[in-house]
Structure 1
Amino acid sequence: MATLKNSFSGESCLLRTHHLFGRDGARCDTVIGDPYVSRMHAHIRWMGGRWELHDHSSNGTLVSGTLVRDGERVVLQQGDLIHFSKASAAYWHVDELNDPADMLWPLRDPARPIVLDSAHVLPGDAVPAVTIVRSADGEWLCDDTSTLRVLRDGDEVVSGDLAWRLVLARSHATMVLPESSGMPVSLQRIDFTVSRDEEHVQAVLHTRGGTADLGERAHHYCLVTLARICSTDVQAGYDAASQGWVDLEVLARMLGTDVSHVNVQIHRARAQVAALLSPDMAQLVERRRGSVRFGTLGFRVFRGELLECQSTPATQIGSALYRPVPAVTLPSLHAG
């Protein structure tokens, strides 16, 4: 596992494989309530067998005295000191940088962290003892009820006077969704965050039941380009049937590649979403002969701290396919 410890509060932070820090409580894994910290300030991710910090902020991030600016990254070392705010004396100490792992994270003392492997009898004075095992499908099962229950990311497990919360290292692989009610999960929106130099794009999938971090992928920039074309057409007043369509060869030139590579990127984007949700949900990308457009999903595109454009699907507004929404600046931009 990999952990950071806050020098001021003593709080320990268990890193996921893609862990976002910032002021935005709806989108960040660790929320930092400091006006000099950006809404999405920086992320730490497990990449190529090492932990990297990527900055996305206005003010930069200090790592052991080195300023990491927006679009830059640094490989973390054990013992590094991370300042997300230059105006604050508080810092995060890099305690451990082991490989990511599924964990039971203690909710209170004297429970200790437990790295999950295959089967565990939990400490505590529960009678009978509480056991957690990994199923053949890779899910964690707990026998603390009359029948085995499947543990989801964030679920609590109690054994006598000890309590933990399940933290899945790769939370995007197992979404936090409500128990099945027999109804399909409805896709609401995809949020894209584009770095100011346009070199990095992160995406987060939102449903009525939860969110899934889609990470940083090359094919996300293709989707962002399609979303921007759609938004431009909406602002120009095109009818819903005409909005967003672009010839594949034109799109390839915009992306600096060829048509076959664009088709590969679209396939990868569709496959990534289909792996999380039923493929018969609202379309991610629509096709017609020689052309494509962003599908019937809602989207938001952020560039740095700016909400550049957004769209709401017809299933949510009950009228036209897209409702034009002007670009706006997020509040408190000057502070972070």
Structure 2
Amino acid sequence: MGILLHASAGTEHSLSARVLVGRSGSCLLRLQAGVVSGEHAILSWTGAGWELRDLGSSNGTWLGARRLGAGERADVREGDEIGFGTRQDRWQLIDDGPPGALARPVQGGPPARAEGGMLALPSAESPECVALEVSEGLWILETDSAQEPVVDQQLVPAGGVLWRLYLPVALPRTTQSDLEVASPLVPALHFAVSRDEEYVELTVRDGERATRLKPRTFHYMLLTLARIREQDSEASARERGWIYIDELAVKLGVDARTINVYVMRARQQLGDAGVPPAALIERRPGARLRMGSLPVTVASL
């Protein structure tokens, strides 16, 4: 993740995809020095690296020993030093990796940060909506009742608060003629269930690699969703396996809010094992969900 270090204070500032720098209250990196303009400069992720642009500031933006012209853009690399209004108050890019997704309350407060390609709002412990990265730089916003595309800088209400999303942009694509396209392996799920169904083992198989996951309560929810999809095999692929959240909650003996927490935790654990979060569970308007179209096997312990 991109990180700026304030040399004199020793503080670090993690970078979202687009960081407005200045004294204005609208700036993500807000500086108090009088030599800094209201909207002084922008530091942004281009998809290939970090870029600094001066916004016509009164006292200039410095990259190393060079002052940028008004509106000039310049690439910034790890180790480069930046000055806003003066060379003496230095910031250094100490990590030039791509930005991580985050959301900030519009009225101020601590940000929420994405983990494993998922940004839960207002928190992972009480998710009302989740932004999911479905492919590099492309995100959807998921609620109980819908999935829809979401973009950088979009405003999203959650937990009684209005949040602004800061989402990384997509990397430039290599044209298909320039590379040999290989079909990615689809992870498979293997459930092993005790006769009384009190114990469930879950293994993720990705090619020749098999990862047995630590037992979790939500594994039985995944098993239930897999069974519903299998039992619904005569339906079309589009209609197969859907269930209302309230109905699933009754089956599992929990409330609907717990189902959302289970989904979040399942995506986190299986995401660490190589299962794309958006592929594990799918949602549909009307508060319905289903297991994604992953290969599934079920055996007895």
Interval containing the TM-score (normalised by the shorter chain)? 0.3 to 0.5
Q: TM-score, normalised by structure 1?
A: 0.36
Greater C-alpha Rg: 2
